[in-house]
Amino acid sequence: MQIAIEPLISRCRPGWSLPGKFYSDEEVYRHDLARVWRTGWLFAGHSCEIPKAGDYFTLAVDTDSIIVARGDDGSVHGLHNVCRHRGSMICTEPAGHVTRLVCPYHQWTYGLDGCLLACRGMPDDLDKTQFGLVRVHAREAEGLIFISLAQNPPPFEPGLETLSPLLRPQGFNRAKVAKVVDYLVEANWKLVWENNRECYHCNFNHPQYIKANFDHYNADDATPRIREAINTVVARSEQKWAEADLAPTHKQTGMTLFPDAENNIWFSANRTPLVEGWVSESMDGRRVAPLMGDYRDADVGTLRIRTLPNFWNHSSCDHGVSTRLLPAGPQRTAVRVYWLVDEKAVEGRDYELARLMPFWQLTSEQDWRICERQQRGVNSSAYQPGPYSTFKEYNVDGFVRWYLQKVKRDA
Ligand code: FES
Ligand SMILES: [Fe+2]
């Protein structure tokens, strides 16, 4: 797809926010879909959502509905949810369990891997091998499922090698989804990411988050007292976690550097200490569910994971919270937030949603309101790009540079 993106890009000023069209224009959105959303790896969901053969869920990347199903051999298949007869959507439920995928229109029947098995009423000489469901690439790693709509996706292995050792102790492949909340955020997907990439806004907007974390402080406002507090928890954590192979990988104030636009790094994870006295990102800092994965001690700080263009996760010793973004229009993003706990944890006995959810539910909803207000502002004829803080918005700048490279690059 060709649009006049270059003149728009030439108006971008390094270190400043993007011109308004990037957040509102239909053509730019279509270009984003082609160059960002249909090229890389997208987080689809968790392995524990489809534990058995025949389990499936669907997700929508703009107008493309995708089925993610567990096959008879245990592997995960990604399939376009479009019948090869006359194009009906096949699965209309968001999730379920089937032995075959049967089109509701004329009952063409497909295997869980997308092969056409039966098409009653068609001539005997119809070559069924030519009418399987269109496949998308699917990979499963450490309890997370990624898909790619690209014909030739970038290699998945570098991400896997970087993320796996950090993710493994959290035990997402021995987890269950305790709760999911869906949001339709009235903001362009890039505004949602830009907001995620800075904590400049945290002090005034996230009263819960800032009690547990250090990353809202930066080089400009980390006082000697704050530095001492960080050094104390880092020193204790390093001593304690080194034996368990859980040593912190991010030890300073401020957010870890991500993304790396120059090297097109779309994934990252780090473990970082929580403030003294907090073992979980919960309202009071105390544990709200049984320990997850390999953890034998609640004091393991917080594990943070992010993959562009659509996933981040914050995990504590006892629970993980995943956020998945999907583009749903130039000014609309479908967001799903998942709360995960150990697979054996029983609601009412081992955890209560009323204690598990508020920290990230409040923080997430505070962010969605921020993004929607910003969308309304950038839609104004008076909007013009503004300068980023070098102390606090270096990752927003990094994200914008990553994005511009993706949309500039010849597909
Ligand atoms: S459209 Fe699916 S069987 Fe006809
Ligand atoms: Fe935020």
Rounded to an integer, the average pLDDT of 371-380 is 98
Q: Is the dihedral of CA 258, 264, 266, 267 positive or negative?
A: negative
Cα distance between residue 320 and residue 142, in whole Å: 13
Rounded to an integer, the average pLDDT of 214-224 is 87
At 254 the pLDDT is 82
Range name among 173-182, 234-243, 300-309 with the lowest pLDDT average: 234-243
Strands (E), 116-233: 116-118, 135-141, 144-148, 175-185
Name beta bridge partners: 333: 185, 327
Position 374, amino acid: Q
Q: Which ligand is located closest to the Cα atom of residue 213?
A: 2
Cα distance between residue 283 and residue 47, in whole Å: 28
At 411 the pLDDT is 42
Per-residue model confidence as pLDDT tens digits over 70-119:
999 999 999 999 999 999 999 999 999 999 999 999 999 999 999 999 99
Q: Is the dihedral of CA 108, 113, 115, 118 positive or negative?
A: negative
Tell me: pLDDT of 319 over 60: yes
Tell me: pLDDT of 268 over 60: yes
Position 193, amino acid: W
When the pLDDT of each residue in the chain is averaged and rounded to a whole number, the result is: 95
Cα distance between residue 304 and residue 225, in whole Å: 25
CA–centroid distance, residue 202 to ligand 2 (Å): 6
Using DSSP, state whether 311 is helix, strand or coil: strand
Q: Determine how many CB atoms are found less than 10 A away from the CB of residue 383.
A: 16
Tell me: pLDDT of 16 over 60: yes
Contact, 279 vs 205, CB < 8 A? no
For ligand 1, atom 4, name the residue with the nearest CA: 106
Per-residue model confidence as pLDDT tens digits over 47-74:
999 999 999 999 999 999 999 999 999 9
For ligand 1, atom 3, name the residue with the nearest CA: 106
Contact, 324 vs 338, CB < 8 A? yes
Query: Would residue 234 be called left, alpha or beta, if left means φ above 0 and alpha means ψ between -120 and 50 degrees?
Result: alpha
Cα distance between residue 242 and residue 98, in whole Å: 45
Q: Which ligand is located closest to the Cα atom of residue 118?
A: 1
Confidence of residue 2 (pLDDT cuts 50, 70, 90): low
Ligand 1 mutation pick, 65, 106, 128, 133, max ligand atoms within 8 A of CB = 106
**pTM assigned to the model:** 0.96
Position 304, amino acid: R
Residues with Cβ within 6 A of ligand 1?
Answer: 83, 85-88, 103, 105-108
Cα distance between residue 115 and residue 373, in whole Å: 46
Cα distance between residue 114 and residue 78, in whole Å: 9
Length of the chain: 411
Which atom of ligand 1 is closest in space to residue 88's alpha carbon?
Answer: 1
